[in-house]
Amino acid sequence: MYIDADGLLNTAHFIFSPNYDDRPHGIDINLLVIHNISLPPNDFTGNGVIDLFTNQIDPQAHPYYQTLAGLKVSTHFFIRRTGAVIQFVSCNKRAWHAGISYWRKKERCNDFSIGIELEGSDTIAFTDNQYTQLIALTQCLYQRYPIQDIAGHCHIAPERKTDPGPYFEWQRYLSALRNDNKEFQ
């Protein structure tokens, strides 16, 4: 697994999202942001998330989707419950995943972060396959970019967001990174 010079993960299935733009010049990509998402909420059977990130969500397909009509969002990576990884935006570009946010006294986290969405919710545990892929992806990103911090969406937008939620096992994730790579010590 590696990220090429174009910011694409060689093992990911790439689905183009139009919801991105250029990062500000001279900004280091130094933050990973972990999210959770499922559409409809708590449903992992369809392609609602893919439809959202590609501006193809049908507001009539589910009552919840009416709240998403016209929303323009994206992420760099989406890890399904099976462990399959989908990439929507090059890591070299700014995906629109963080919204109004701040980290270490810097606003606009989209400018300097990579977003990773886990298919899930605040009410259901994540799968072993997701942790395996998230750990491998994090290590890969760490080798390619000057990542200094890893945060949840809840940490960069605490007034608005709760994800990745109480079922995300931070200790499991961070311990695995430290055990597998001396750089995370």
Q: Is the pLDDT of residue 183 over 60?
A: no
- Any idea how long the chain is? 185
- 104 occurs within a structural domain: yes
**How many separate domains does the chain show?**
1
For the chain, how big is the Rg over CA atoms in Å? 15
- 4 occurs within a structural domain: no
State which residues form the domain around 107. Answer: 13-184
- 129 occurs within a structural domain: yes
Q: What is the mean pLDDT of residues 25-43?
A: 96
DSSP-derived pairing of the beta strands 106-107 and 102-103: antiparallel
- 3 occurs within a structural domain: no
- 6 occurs within a structural domain: no
Which residues are within 8 A (CB) of 166 and not within 5 positions of it... i.e. 6 or more apart?
Answer: 122
Q: Which two tokens stand for residue 80?
A: 């399904």
How confident is the model over 63-72, as pLDDT tens digits? Answer: 999 999 899 9
pLDDT category, 178, cuts 50, 70, 90? confident
Model pLDDT, residue 153: 98
Count of H-run helices and E-run strands, the chain: 4, 10
Q: Is the pLDDT of residue 16 over 90?
A: yes
How confident is the model over 152-164, as pLDDT tens digits? Answer: 999 999 999 999 9
Q: In CATH, what number is assigned to the domain containing residue 143?
A: 3.40.80.10
Degrees to nearest 5, angle at CA 173 with 171 and 179: 95
- 1 occurs within a structural domain: no
DSSP assignment of 37-98, as one string? E-SSTT--SSSHHHHHHTT---TTSSGGGGGGTT-----SEEE-TTS-EEE-S-TTEEES-S
Specify whether the backbone of 105 is left (phi greater than 0), alpha (psi in -120 to 50) or beta: left
The mean pLDDT of the chain is: 95
How confident is the model over 126-140, as pLDDT tens digits? Answer: 999 999 999 999 999
Q: Please name which of 94, 169, 90 lies closest in space to residue 128, comparing C-alpha atoms.
A: 169
Residues with catalytic function:
117
DSSP-derived pairing of the beta strands 85-87 and 13-14: parallel
- 5 occurs within a structural domain: no
Model pLDDT, residue 185: 43
- 2 occurs within a structural domain: no
